[in-house]
Amino acid sequence: MTALKSANKELKGMMKTVKIQDIDNLQDEMMDMMDMSNEIQETLGRSYNVPDDIDEDELMGELDALEADMGTEADGVPSYLQPDKEEPDLDAELNLPTAPSGNATA
């Protein structure tokens, strides 16, 4: 019986610190956040009028044509991303004089 009285006293003490208005405000905030979350989900879930009956064979044909236009090589790397066959000779291309060696005179 003493345990029940003690628990009852503690519960009453805790209830004094809880304000119903705070709980109502918290629930209102939670509902607002749920509404906002639902709006975001609806916005992200839009279909943007993409037809359901897309012909995949036609799309693959268009993709093949685009790859042919871009010059895709056999290994799947486009020709514009392929490394150059020959490395340029930068020394000859820049035509720079050689750096002097020895001690500098003041």
Domain membership of residue 9 (yes or no) is no
| The two structure tokens encoding residue 20 | 């119903």
> Where on the phi/psi map is residue 58: left (φ > 0), alpha (ψ -120 to 50), or beta?
alpha
Rg (CA), the chain: 38
Q: How many domains does the chain have?
A: 1
pLDDT of residue 31: 98
Domain membership of residue 6 (yes or no) is no
Domain membership of residue 18 (yes or no) is yes
Whole-structure pTM value: 0.37
Domain membership of residue 31 (yes or no) is yes
Segment 25-37 mean pLDDT: 97
Residues 6+ apart with CB under 8 A from 82: 73
Domain membership of residue 53 (yes or no) is no
Pair 11, 4: CB distance under 8 Å: no
CB-side exposure of 33: number of CA atoms within 13 Å?
A: 6
For residue range 43-102, list pLDDT tens digits in order.
988 877 777 788 889 889 998 888 777 765 656 676 677 777 777 777 777 777 788 888
Domain membership of residue 106 (yes or no) is no
Residue-range definition of the domain harbouring residue 35: 14-42
Domain membership of residue 24 (yes or no) is yes
